[in-house]
Each structure stands twice: as C-alpha cells, then as structure tokens.
Structure 1
Amino acid sequence: MSILFVGGWATEETQFPRLASISRFLVPFNGFSSEELPALVGGGGNILIGWSTGAHMLLKECSHLFSSYDHVLLIAPFLSFIDSFPERLVRRMIAGMDKNPAEVVQSFHKNCAEEADLNFDPAQVPVLIEGLEYLIKSRVDVKPEIAADNLILIHADDDRIVRQKAFDQVLEKIPGAEVRLIDGGHKISESTLLNIIEGL
C-alpha cells in the first residue's frame, strides 16, 4: 500500500511516527511550496492524506489529481484559514516568531491538542514564518467538477483551529464527499488515523 501524507504548519514526523514509517511524509514549506505540490502528488497511488494546511494545499493545487488515488482523506480542511483563525492572531504569531519562536510553536501545538513534547528546531523559523504569511493570504476556489467519489472529509468535534464553520464551508463546495466526524482536537490521533486507513 502506498500512502502520501501532507502535514500541517509546524508538523513533525514525531507526531505520527508509525505513519511516517510507512508513508511518504511531506511537511509544507519544508522543501516545497504550495505551487510545487502537484509535482510531488502527481504520480498517484493508494491513499493521499492532507491534514490542516496540507489538506488546504491539496484542495487548492491538486484536486485535479484526486482521481489518480484510490482514497483521498482531507483532515480539518479549510478554504481560508483566517475565516476560522483570526488574522490578528496569525500576525501575533508572526511577531512572536522574532522574539520567542519556540513558545509560539509550543502554544500552537497545545491548541491543536498535541499531547507529545516536541523538539523545536530554530533553523525552521524562516519556513514557519513563510507558512503563516501563506495562511493569511491563501484561499481555495473549489471547482464544481472536483472528484468526490473517493474523497473523505474528516473533522473533530473539539477542533479549536479549524472550527465547524470553516469545515462546513468545505462541505458546501464538495457535497458529494463522504464525511466522518470524530472525537478529539485539531491534531487527529495517530491511532484514529491508522484505524481509518486500515478500514479503507
């Protein structure tokens, strides 16, 4: 089984160690831009997964490639990040990256319901800022012809980052997709995600 996983802002492989060991694991802005994602996704395969910013990028840049996968899972997708997470807070995060980036990232992961203690790499500050600036500006214009027969949209009931309103905006654009509502916060637990994958 081939799995391609596109993570969210400040994602680390240690958040999904088992998944990282069996998938091609991509982290936005860490070696590729949104516009370069289609070239990485284009080969097709069994399962394509996007979480948060990764789900947003896949909707924006790669929806025409969804049909080349058996299953496409978009976890906590959004059309515009600042429709859910206020722009003033994102700009506050950007300002904080100049003063105490480790604290900004740690606070974000806490709001995502991440339970693990993650190591912060100061070398990542430039790409993290790039990602936050992207999230302020980026919007998805979903085309009516988007393939939905293999698409599963997943959202957690206590997601403090991508709130229900933002998720519902995605549902309105892709009414034919399967929807799965799960327990938890913005960061889906690895066990839950692996159970979904095993059930496909």
Structure 2
Amino acid sequence: MKVVFVGGWATSEQQYPQLAESARFLVPFTGFDSAELPDLIAEGGDVLIGWSTGAHMLLKECRHLFARYGRVVLIAPFLSFTDSFPKRLVKGMIAGMENDPAAVVRSFHENCGESDIPPYAPDDAAQLVAGLEYLVSSKIEIDGKIFSSNLTLVHADGDRIVRRKAFDKVAAAAGDVQIMEIAGGHKISEVELMNIIKG
C-alpha cells in the first residue's frame, strides 16, 4: 500500500515511527514549503493523509490531485488557523521562538496532547518561525463545494488546537464527504491513525 502522510507544524517522525517506516512522511516548513507540495504528491497512491497544517496545505494547494489517490484523509483540517487559534497566541509563539524556541515547541506539543514529546532540533528554528507566519496569514477561499467522493474528514473531540468551530467550516465546504469523529486530542494516537489508514 502506498501511503503519503503530510504532517503539521513541528512534526517529527518520532511521533509516528510505525507510519514513518511504512509511508512517505512529509514535514512542512522543515522539509518543504507549501508551493512544493503539489509536485511532492503528484504521483498518487492508495492513501493521502494530511494532519493539521498538512491537511490545510493539501486543501489549499492540492485539491486537484485528490483523484489520484484511492482515499484522502484530512485530520484536524482548517480553512484558516486563526479560526480556532487566536492570532495573538501565534504571534506570542513567534516572539517566544526568539528567546526559547525549545520551550515554545514543547508547549505546543503538550497542547496537542502529545504523551512522548519529541526532542527539539535547534537548526529548525528559522523554518518553524516561517511556519508560524504562514499559519497567521494562510486562508483558503472555497467557491462552492469541494466535492471529492474519496475524502474523509477527521476530528477529535478533545482537540485544543483545531477546535470544533474551525473543523465545521471545512465540513460545511466539503459537500457530501465522510466525517469521522474520534476521541482524543489534536495529536491522535498512532494506533488510531493506522486503523484509519487501513480503513
């Protein structure tokens, strides 16, 4: 099975080691920028997964490529990050990255519900700041409905990063697609994620 996974801000392969071994694992900002994503996923495959920022980027840049995959799964998607996470808090994270980037990343992972927080890589600071600036400004304008019959949207009931109101805006724009409600926080467990992939 060919699986492509597009992670979120400050994502690490250590968060999903089983998936990283079996799928193409793409990390925004530290691994690619949004303009590069269409070329990275253009080949197609069995399952395309976007989580959080990855889900946003796929919706914004790659909807025309969804048909090249058997299934597309967007976990914690949003049209605008600030629909859920106030701009002042993102700006605070940007300011904090100048003084103690490791603490900012750690706090973010804690708010995601991460139980085993991956270590911070100091070389990633500039790209992570660029990622936060992207999240402040990036918005998706959808004219009509997305209408992708192979699309599944996933939301966790305890998500403190992409809250229900932000998810609902995506669902309203998505037309007749599958909606999956699960228990957990923003960072869903690898067991749950692998079960979703298996369908």
Which category of TM-score, normalised to the shorter sequence, fits these structures?
Answer: over 0.9
SS at match of 1:37: helix
In structure 2, the residue matched to 1:178 is 178
SS at match of 1:47: strand
Equivalent residues of 2:79, 2:166 under 8 A apart = yes
SS at match of 2:165: helix
Instruction: Give the aligned length.
Output: 199
1:134 corresponds to which letter in structure 2? Y
Q: Name the CA shift for 1:196/1:72 in 2 (closer, same or farther; >3 Å).
A: same
Q: In the alignment, is residue 76 of structure 1 matched against residue 76 of structure 2? A: yes
Q: Name the CA shift for 1:58/1:143 in 2 (closer, same or farther; >3 Å).
A: farther
Equivalent residues of 2:146, 2:173 under 8 A apart = no
Could you tell me the TM-score, scaled by structure 2's length?
0.98
Q: Which runs of 5+ in 1 are unaligned?
A: none
- Following superposition, the deviation at residue 145 of structure 1 comes to 5.7
2:7 corresponds to which letter in structure 1? G
The 10-residue stretch of structure 1 (130-139 or 144-153) with the greater mean CA deviation from structure 2: 144-153
- Following superposition, the deviation at residue 101 of structure 1 comes to 0.5
1:38-187 equivalences under 5 Å are 38-144=38-144, 146-187=146-187
In structure 1, the residue matched to 2:29 is 29
- Following superposition, the deviation at residue 31 of structure 1 comes to 3.1
Residues 144-198 of structure 1 deviation map (CA, whole Å, 9 limit, x = unaligned) = 3634210000000000000000000001101211000000000011000101112
SS at match of 2:140: coil
Take 1:145 and 1:51, find their aligned partners in 2: how far apart are those partners? Answer: 21
Take 1:17 and 1:46, find their aligned partners in 2: how far apart are those partners? Answer: 20
Take 1:24 and 1:110, find their aligned partners in 2: how far apart are those partners? Answer: 25
Equivalent residues of 2:74, 2:153 under 8 A apart = yes
Take 2:90 and 2:31, find their aligned partners in 1: how far apart are those partners? Answer: 22
The 10-residue stretch of structure 1 (27-36 or 10-19) with the greater mean CA deviation from structure 2: 27-36
Aligned-pair identity (%)? 58
Runs of 4+ off more than 4 Å: none
- Following superposition, the deviation at residue 70 of structure 1 comes to 0.1
SS at match of 1:70: strand
Take 1:149 and 1:170, find their aligned partners in 2: how far apart are those partners? Answer: 15
The 10-residue stretch of structure 1 (45-54 or 117-126) with the greater mean CA deviation from structure 2: 117-126
The 10-residue stretch of structure 1 (114-123 or 151-160) with the greater mean CA deviation from structure 2: 114-123
Q: Which runs of 5+ in 2 are unaligned?
A: none
1:67 corresponds to which letter in structure 2? A
Could you tell me the TM-score, scaled by structure 1's length?
0.97
Equivalent residues of 1:66, 1:147 under 8 A apart = no
RMSD value, Cα: 0.9
Equivalent residues of 2:145, 2:175 under 8 A apart = no
